[in-house]
Amino acid sequence: MSRVRKFNSLLNDVTILNFPLIGKLLRRYYLISITIPVMAIGVSVYFYSIQNVLYETNVGFSDASTKNLSPTNTIADLVGENQIIIAEEDVLAMRNDWVFNQKLAKKIYKLPDLYSLDFNGVGTRNKISTNILLEKCQHDEECSVRTLLGSLPSLYNIVAEATPGRYRLIVVTLEEKTSKIILREVAKLIEEDRVVYLKNIVDKKIEATEKLIKQQNVDIDADNMMNLSNRQVNLKNQIEEIKNGMRNLSQSIANNKLQFNTLELELAQFNKSKSIGAADSKRVNYEKYVKLNQEVLDLRTNLSLLTQNTAMSEYEKKVVVELEARLQTKLSELEKLGDVSRSVSGIDKFNETQDSKSNYTQKDYNVLREKIKKEQAEYDKTKEELDKLQVEHAEVSRKLDDMKPNTGYLDLLEKKLISLKLLSSTITTDLVVDNIGNNIKIHKNASLSKYLVFATISSIFFIFLLTVIRYLFDQKIYSEDDVKVFFEDLEVIGNTPEFEK
């Protein structure tokens, strides 16, 4: 029960701990109070001294795309391509990327001063040289790269800075030269790897675009399209040539028909004049007859010219009706003149003259009639040929129109291919590393002050713990307070006198 009473005596209702008693105990058990701090400091100094000396160097780099400073993205905007932006997670993950570290190991392996570098980890107790590290590989590149691949990722780190798009590459090794070389090689690889990555993306787009262009060329059949285009031009030229010929032929037919109608009227006039003289041998008012006959001839000529136009206006139709009415009137007057007498000598003389003219007119009439028939037959044949060519031209045009959407898409693909090739030839890294200086920070993993702080805290804890334990198990009585603790119901009646020695 005394230990319980002792433990209770260490507590206080107000301050929780009985600090005056604890102070007295620290003085009573002074060996504990001295030994533990000395040991803690000694251990801290020892562990501090056995730490490896670290050589730390670093360099900053930035994502140019976050500030629109990337030349590649600028050119991508100009040629209409999407910008390629790298996420912060991808940058930080480079350190753990197996492919990235393999490339780094290959670059390090090819360095001329490889065997003078130190690839031991920062916490290594038993250091080994690079010669021993790579001895088992016997200068085999694949084996050496694989061995270096196990050490390199622990020697550097990539962290994000407070500024968006800013990062810092930190290298910590056990040798100054090694830190500088690894920093330089990792920084170069960061830029080179991004160029390769960006170029690979663009090259894949180029490859896909070239496949699409090839497929479009197969679908379009460029040779067939060229043949159709040439055929369309030839048909158009043939149609225009035939139309010009038909216009000339139509004009010739119209002129010949006009001349034919004139000859036909003249023959009718000759026959009429002859019949008048033979029928009643009377004179007719020849001048009046000739005048009427000429008017009839003029009317028929005008009607022939007007009726050549198939698309007449309303006004022209009215004119034709009026001319036909006038023609009938004149013809009626000519019929009435058939009863008018004229002199026999005049009639005979007139008939002789008309017979002579009639022979020539009849010959011209027959020749012209045959010519008109031939021209009309030629016109009809040419019209059939024109219709066939126009149908073929329409079909060729339709096929070319069907191909136009594909050719337009093909043009866009070819322009895109040119843009992508331009972008591929101008790709630069979007992770730009700052200038590398000679800043080397030499330190140990934990500073001496950290060890001393730890020693102080641990000393206080163990001093208190051991002092309390020593007090609880101590059966000696050192003062009146101890008596009260051991003997709860004991009444103190006085102190023993002190005797002089």
List 53's β-bridge partners, or say none.
444
Give CA–CA dist 296/294, Å, rounded.
Answer: 5
- Phi and psi torsions of 144, nearest 5°: -65, -45
> What are the sequence ranges of the domains in the chain?
1-50+446-501, 225-425
The Cα diameter of the chain in Å comes to: 213
Q: What is the DSSP string of 231-295?
A: HHHHHHHHHHHHHHHHHHHHHHHHHHHHHHHHHHHHHHHHHHHHHHHHHH--B--HHHHHHHHHH
List 197's β-bridge partners, or say none.
none
Count the residues in the chain: 501
pLDDT tens for the chain, 501 residues: list them.
466 767 766 777 677 777 777 778 778 888 888 898 899 999 988 888 888 889 999 999 988 876 554 555 555 554 445 556 778 888 899 889 999 999 999 999 999 989 999 999 888 888 888 889 888 988 899 999 999 998 999 999 999 998 888 999 999 999 999 999 999 999 999 999 888 888 888 888 888 888 887 776 665 555 566 777 788 888 888 888 888 888 888 888 788 777 777 767 766 766 665 555 444 444 445 667 767 777 777 777 777 766 766 556 676 677 777 877 887 887 777 777 664 544 444 554 555 555 555 555 667 777 777 888 888 888 888 888 888 888 888 887 777 676 655 566 667 777 777 877 877 777 778 788 888 888 899 988 787 888 889 889 998 888 888 888 887 777 665 555 555 555 555 565 566 555 454
Give CA–CA dist 472/468, Å, rounded.
Answer: 6
Give CA–CA dist 433/171, Å, rounded.
Answer: 14
Cα end-to-end span (Å), the chain: 38
132, 126, 130: which is closest to 118 by C-alpha?
130
Three-state secondary structure call for residue 297: helix
